[in-house]
Amino acid sequence: MKENILIIGGGAAGMEAATQLQNMGLTPIIVEKSDKLGGHIAQWDRLFPAFHPANDVVEQMLNQVKDVKTYLNTEVTDIQKDNNGFHAVLSNNETIDAKAVILATGFDVFKAERKQEYGYGIYNNVMTSVELEQFFRTGKDARINNPKKIGFVHCVGARDVKVCNTYCSKVCCTTALKQACEIKEVFPDAEVYTFYMDLRMFGPGYEDLYLKTQKDFDVKCIRGRVCEVSEDMDGRLVIKAEDTLFGKPLKMTLDVLVLMCSMEKNRSIDAIQTKLGIANNSDGFMQNKDMYLGMNGTSQDGVFVAGACTAPKSLPDTIGEARSVATQVFNYINR
Amino acid sequence: MIIEGKQKIWADYQKDIPDDHYFYVRSCIRQAFFPGSEVTFLDITRNKLGKDFYENPYHTTCGGIAYHSDTIPQETAMTIIARQFALMKESGYENYVCSCITSFGCYTETLETWHEYPELEAKIRQYLWDSCKKEFAKPKYLAHASDIIYKLRFEIAKQSKFKLVNVKTGKPLKVVEHIGCHYSKMFPSKGFGGAEYPHVLVGMIEAWGGEVVDYPERRQCCGFGFRQYFVQANRGYSESNTHKKFESMEPYEPDLIITNCPGCPYFLDRWQYVIAEQTGKTYGKNGYGIPALTYEEVAGLVMGYDPWDLGLQMHQVAIEPLLEKMGIPYDPKKKYQGLNGKDLGVPQCPMHIKSV
Amino acid sequence: MNSQIFHPFVIPFVLGMAFVLTYCLVGLVRVVLQLPKEDRKKFLRSLVTPKIAWANIRDLFGDCLFHVKIWKRNPILGYMHSAIAFGWFMIIVIGHIMLFTLKPLEGVEAEGFARTFTNFYYPIFYKFFATETPVFAFLMDFFLLVIISGILIAVVKKIHSRIVGVKRVTKFGFADNMIRFALWTIFPFRLIAEKTNIMAFWWLYSFDLLIFMCMLPFTRYMHIPTEALFILLRHAGLKLREPRKGYALAQIYSCPSCGLCIDACPMSVSDKNSGNTSAYFMKKLRNGDSAEAQRIAETCMQCGKCVAVCPVSIKSCDIKMSQREATPYIINSDHSYLNDYTRTDASDASSVLYFAGCMTQLTPKIMRAMKKIMETAGEEYEFLDKDGGICCGRPMMLSGKTAEAQAMIAKNTELIEKSGAKKLVLSCPICYKVFKEEYHLEGIEILHHTQYLDELVRNGKLKVNKSDVNYVYHDPCELGRAFGVYDEPREVLENVGNLRKAKSEKELSICCGGSLGSFNLTQKERDEITTNSVADLMFNNPDEIVTACPLCLRTFARKSPVAVIDIAEVVSNQLVS
Amino acid sequence: MDFGFCLSPSSHVKMDGVDLTTFNRLKETNPDINTCIACGSCTATCTAGNFTEMSFRRLLLMLQRGKEDEAKKMIQRCMLCGKCTLVCPRGINIRKILLDITR
């Protein structure tokens, strides 16, 4: 009898894990609380570092899981573990018996309004990176009409004790430069500035993206965290930051300000997580067994984690972890 | 500006404080700067609104002016504050209200520090006993005088005789609100509306018919800070802070500045004269400045007090244009007469800023 | 033959000849007048001093007629040039000899145009007017055929230059191509005219000469008359003042755009940059396109190879330098901060002073090697710029800011003289050139460290053992071509290992590409040059490349398949302690 | 009337309408000028830097923050020795930029 594996979360991690488990002859069951699979990446326009269209990747992933048993608009309301596996109750009152559980619940985007000084939700032309990505997909956003000066603020909701997120959210620097190039393509004669503390271009081809952003797209990177944003009489944004490399504070008026919001752990799984006895680490993400050989395991046998639920991750990281969790589950089943 | 965004924040930062039975302490310098303010506060609360605000004659400074000038250690200041609380206890009150913003900051800081370090509270209790043989009790509610006026703003509006409206044009006056830094920047949760968009003065302006001006340098400090302006050589630094604010609010052409701290109205008022003398520039219309009043004085104006009883003639910036805008009658001759009609003498008229 | 002495067809030739002679005369006067006063005096004096006069004659024949320098470079091209030049010269000379022997005017009354110009045109068209003795006939036909043989090679070169051993040929404008055809057709027409005596060909022959003469001043063939003047000026030892006047003007017009410098220039490794070589620089200067001339002058690496191969020995590097010096810089340097700089560790007992220079600060291995060498040799030495020191001033001068380099030069001079050293050793050829040419250090011998090492090994102060490593030595441009220091480094290397030859040695060595001389070259373009230069050095696949310049060391190290090492390191590794 | 103190000018760099003429002129002939990551290698290796606070990194910033006259004063210190160009990790042709500024 092919064992059921319960996968909570139908984003990139959940889908990829299901695909691999299927190939290994197991029966993955995906429970997704939203109305469709794909997670955050499904709403992305293009991926860094080479501006690859996101739905290329998402189409392939969706195609691979088309005959996997999937519950949409459904959440796990209760879960028990007994000696022959896990007994889960879903919000549509169905029950699932599974040999192992994979938590692939991913991340939530930091609520930008928590950084009040940036005026998100208060000033007209402040938006988040996710909303800018929507603009690239749809081409429409009330806040963007032929802006002449655009600013990107890095580390919004990350590396910041004041919002209790001291970790680095890993992908926003690269995303910021990608978006800076993309917005420059849309508005070629706009001036684009990014305000960073450190430009963490960690992956392969990322430094080339940085060089391209500077040279071909003439984006100006200013080292200094924006401290305060306010609105002037005609609704444009006045930002204050210190150019720490020049050693002087600077003031600038912008038409659009994009906040690079960090990743935070998806809180909606907390109840089930406590039922399963999985704790959170100091960053508020799920605590895996250990960072090296136990990155997919947890303190509870049979409960596995993959993707951004344990720490901020890029798409390649997530896919990698989804594939590794499949083998961990396979080994666990056949131990 | 998306007003719903602000209202959401204001909803997050609500302070539940009673609006009666308070032990009132004065500020050590506000009487010197604007003598009408504190007496008006007591008159409005006691006589106009019938509230119980007791003032113990033996209360002293909170020690903030020395503490923030680095001349006394924090424990000394805490002992002074403990003595104030002791007086409150002896007078049978458990709600404490102070008139000065810096005091409010010191009291909040002290209570928070005692909360975090109970052993320090015990030590201060011992110091107080050794020095004055008094026992103190921590107040149940701590408020700033502007919180009270904020809570009673609608009652005041009901009894108001004038609105913050330009009677000639019918349009609401454009009012700049400036919050004292020690009010909510240090402990955002202790101020109505939090630190970024405090609501305490905005509430009053909107309740009394005015329109709030939200200019970029709204959060900029007025530059009063004890350490800065005590030494004459540093005073330019203080003045520049105010100058920065006026340069930023100028395009909005505000009619009035409302403040809730001893220092801000004083600096926002006096520096307009110094800036005018030094740069020849004034920020009000045709040579006048922008009047900078305390919330008590504005409450007084709205409730129909005589401007000279509010002590508005003590302000550097002439108040007459505002009175005309609000349609408040005033007797120019009695401007510089004492209570018993004695002539106090007209101050020398400055070169650049009109003072009627 | 008929006994006429005049025929209308000679008129075009005479007009052409008159035009070109007057033009050259005016040009000559103009150039001489443009010379500053003392240069003019020096020039006129040089014409009469026997030693210089003899050198003038020798070169006039050697270069103008026999093009000896081209022979050395490329024998086929050498023959082509000398065949045409010398052949043409001979038929004019023999023609005039016949004129004086035949004396056509004797006993003939002719007046007006004929009388005055007969001597002028007669030799050119003698066959039409008179019969000649067999000896003259033979000589005239012989040299005519020699010229035509030269022209045949020119035609082949035009069709496919590689056959004649030339990779790249200068791209010519319309005028240059036009006059080239005129030159090619003159002597065939003459041959046909003389043999068939058909009037049409005599007219064609005369008109061809007219076209050639009239176009000559505006094309590259202007180098024929100007080179003679340039030889005289060169022997007078004049110094180049402005980029387009006097001595420089003579050089501009004596450049034949032959294109030899294009192949030689290291930059022509990329097609785009072959447009930045000296041939094109001279053309731009001549056409008055100063913006382009300035750009090319600033792209040139000043490696001097074009000057080394130039058959007319035009000093294009100096002209480019004077073009840079003429650049109107708005902001001038202010090095007054150097005035109160004194060396803290100045001991004045040392006899040898070693000046590493800025570039060597970035290659500390050289400094360490020199220290070890001088200690082992027991030399009393001192480092002038241990703590970073002051730049020698050469890079500043390379950008044309000669005046602004003086502050650095003055301060360094003061420091050097205060150190009381007798010998100044430099490990960077860039510094070596400025110390030799601009500094005035009385009583102090200036040596590049290759010369110093050679001296130490020669006088036994340094004992080295010979390893079996195969080295190839790269001649730094400023050391080899500029000062001819070729042998000392090779002597030293012979003692410490086996020396193999590069493909291009000594004055033909290819610049490493890292030169500070060029402003505009991008890193990519420099890498191409470096790769080409490394390939040349690896020709006899050595184990290690030895350089004598810190800049070459750093530049080669990026692209070399084998280790790149300074000569001082080689020696210090082989010291017998 | 002497008050014994005066207004101290704001130290803020006003980025709106900052004068970039020189910087843009340099950008035409040296497109790499934008790729500076302010690592400071040029300043560290600078020969004139041993005696003064000559710093090409700072100079580039001055040109972009409207402090042109300060930049033009600093550039007078430069000895044009070219070490900065040799060490620049972004391969910027610094020596050419230094020359282009002075014309």
Contact criterion met (CB below 8 Å) for C357 and C430: yes
- In the structure, what pLDDT confidence band is assigned to residue B136 with cuts at 50, 70 and 90? very high
The reply to whether C261 falls in a domain is yes
- Rounded to the nearest angstrom, the gap between the alpha carbon of residue B233 and the centroid of all alpha carbons in its chain is 26
The reply to whether D1 falls in a domain is no
Q: List, for residues C193-216, the tens digit of each pLDDT value.
A: 888 888 888 899 989 999 999 999
CB-nearest partner of B216 from A120, A124, A230:
A230
Judging contact as 3 or more Cβ pairs under 8 Å, the answer for C and A is no
Q: Does domain B159-336 have CATH number 3.40.50.11810?
A: yes
Which of C170, C203, C225 terminates a domain? The answer is C225
Can you name the residues that pair with B143 across neighbouring β-strands? Answer: B97
> Which distant-in-sequence residues (6+ apart) come within 8 Å of C100 by Cβ?
none
pLDDT at D82 exceeding the cut of 60: yes
Residue C240: its pLDDT value, please? 85
pLDDT at C349 exceeding the cut of 70: no
Can you name the residues that pair with B29 across neighbouring β-strands? Answer: none
> Considering chain C, what percentage of its residues have pLDDT values greater than 70?
96
Chain C partners within 8 Å of D101 (Cβ): 331
> Considering chain B, what percentage of its residues have pLDDT values greater than 90?
78
Q: List, for residues A150-192, the tens digit of each pLDDT value.
A: 999 999 999 999 999 999 999 999 999 999 999 999 999 999 9
Asked if the Cβ–Cβ distance from C337 to D87 is below 8 Å, we say no
The reply to whether C240 falls in a domain is no
The reply to whether D4 falls in a domain is no
Average pLDDT of span A9-28: 96
Average pLDDT of span C360-387: 91
Q: What is the residue-averaged pLDDT of chain A?
A: 95
> Does residue C361 sit at the D interface (CB-CB below 8 Å)?
yes
pLDDT at D44 exceeding the cut of 70: yes
| Separation in Å, CA of B253 to nearest CA in chain A | 11
Chain D partners within 8 Å of B234 (Cβ): 5
The reply to whether D46 falls in a domain is yes
| Separation in Å, CA of A256 to nearest CA in chain D | 14
Question: What domains are defined for chain A?
Answer: 4-106+266-333 (3.50.50.60), 112-259 (3.50.50.60)
Q: How many domains does chain C have?
A: 3
CB hemisphere CA count around B153 (13 angstroms): 20
CA Rg value for chain B: 20
Q: Which of B223-232, C310-319, C321-330 is predicted least confidently?
A: B223-232
Chain D, nearest residue to B233 by Cα:
D5
CB-nearest partner of D102 from C331, C358, C361:
C331
Residue C2: its pLDDT value, please? 47
Q: What is the residue-averaged pLDDT of chain B?
A: 93
Chain D partners within 8 Å of C520 (Cβ): 93, 96
User: C107 or B263: whose pLDDT is higher?
Assistant: B263
The reply to whether C243 falls in a domain is no
The reply to whether D84 falls in a domain is yes
The reply to whether D15 falls in a domain is no
| Separation in Å, CA of D2 to nearest CA in chain B | 8
Q: List, for residues C472-507, the tens digit of each pLDDT value.
A: 999 999 999 999 999 999 999 999 999 999 999 999
Please tell me the total number of residues recorded for chain D in this structure. 103
Q: List, for residues A121-153, the tens digit of each pLDDT value.
A: 999 999 999 999 999 999 999 999 999 999 999
Residue A32: its pLDDT value, please? 96
Which of C325, C360, C380 terminates a domain? The answer is C325
Q: Which of A13-17, B232-236, C160-164 is predicted least confidently?
A: C160-164
Average pLDDT of span A211-229: 96
Which of A305-314, C59-68, C169-178 has the highest mean predicted lDDT (pLDDT)?
Answer: A305-314
| Residue B200: both structure tokens together | 């305490």
Q: How many domains does chain D have?
A: 1
Quote the Cα angle for C421-C426-C431, to 5°.
115
Q: Within this chain, do residues C492 and C418 fall inside the same structural domain, yes or no?
A: yes
Q: How far is the CA of C227 from the CAs of B8, C28, C248, in angstroms?
A: 90, 11, 12
Q: How far is the CA of A163 from the CAs of A112, A166, C248, in angstroms?
A: 10, 8, 73
Asked if the Cβ–Cβ distance from D51 to C337 is below 8 Å, we say yes
Can you name the residues that pair with A238 across neighbouring β-strands? Answer: A230, A253
CA Rg value for chain C: 29
Backbone angles phi, psi at A313, to 5 degrees: -140, 150
Contact criterion met (CB below 8 Å) for A74 and A91: yes
Asked if the Cβ–Cβ distance from D4 to B233 is below 8 Å, we say yes
Q: Within this chain, do residues C477 and C534 fall inside the same structural domain, yes or no?
A: yes
Residue B354: its pLDDT value, please? 85
Report the alpha-carbon distance of residue C477 to residue C429 in Å, rounded.
Answer: 8
The reply to whether C249 falls in a domain is no
The reply to whether D2 falls in a domain is no
Q: What is the residue-averaged pLDDT of chain C?
A: 89
SS3 A46: strand
Domain range for C518 is 333-577
Asked if the Cβ–Cβ distance from C358 to D83 is below 8 Å, we say yes
Asked if the Cβ–Cβ distance from D96 to C519 is below 8 Å, we say yes
pLDDT at A317 exceeding the cut of 80: yes
Q: Within this chain, do residues C150 and C285 fall inside the same structural domain, yes or no?
A: no
- In the structure, what pLDDT confidence band is assigned to residue D65 with cuts at 50, 70 and 90? very high
Establish whether the linkage from the previous residue to A49 is cis, with ω within 30° of 0: yes
ipTM of predicted assembly, 2 dp = 0.86
> Does residue A249 sit at the B interface (CB-CB below 8 Å)?
no
Calculate the CA dihedral of residues B50, B52, B53, B56 and round it to 10 degrees: 140
| Separation in Å, CA of A231 to nearest CA in chain D | 15
Average pLDDT of span C169-178: 84
> Considering chain A, what percentage of its residues have pLDDT values greater than 70?
100
| Residue C59: both structure tokens together | 């070169």
Q: Annotate C358-369 with b (16+ C-beta within 10 A) or e (fewer).
A: bbbbbbeebbeb
Q: What is the 3-state secondary structure (H, E, C) of C437-459?
A: HCCCCCCCEEEEHHHHHHHHHHC
Q: Within this chain, do residues C291 and C353 fall inside the same structural domain, yes or no?
A: no
C217: number of Cβ within 10 Å:
17
Determine the straight-line distance between the first and last CA of chain B, rounded to whole angstroms.
37
Average pLDDT of span B144-166: 95
Residue A1: its pLDDT value, please? 52
Q: Within this chain, do residues C196 and C262 fall inside the same structural domain, yes or no?
A: no
| Separation in Å, CA of B13 to nearest CA in chain A | 13
Domain range for D86 is 21-101
Residue C74: its pLDDT value, please? 85
Chain D partners within 8 Å of A223 (Cβ): 38
Residue C1: its pLDDT value, please? 42
Q: List, for residues A79-136, the tens digit of each pLDDT value.
A: 999 988 999 999 999 999 999 999 999 999 999 999 999 999 999 999 999 999 999 9
Asked if the Cβ–Cβ distance from D47 to C554 is below 8 Å, we say no
Quickly name the fold that domain B16-145 has: Glutathione S-transferase Yfyf (Class Pi); Chain A, domain 2 (1.20.1050)
Residue from B230, B246, B273, B278 to probe the interface with D (highest D Cβ count within 10 Å) = B278
Kindly state the helix (H) or strand (E) to which residue C382 belongs, with its residue range. strand C381-383
Residue C119: its pLDDT value, please? 76
Tell me the domain boundaries of chain B. 16-145, 159-336
- In the structure, what pLDDT confidence band is assigned to residue C342 with cuts at 50, 70 and 90? confident
Q: Within this chain, do residues C313 and C408 fall inside the same structural domain, yes or no?
A: no
pLDDT at C107 exceeding the cut of 70: no
Q: Within this chain, do residues C290 and C413 fall inside the same structural domain, yes or no?
A: no
pLDDT at B49 exceeding the cut of 80: yes
Count of CB contacts below 8 A, A vs B?
A: 42
Chain D stretch 21-50, residues whose beta carbon is closer than 8 A to a beta carbon of chain C:
45, 47, 50
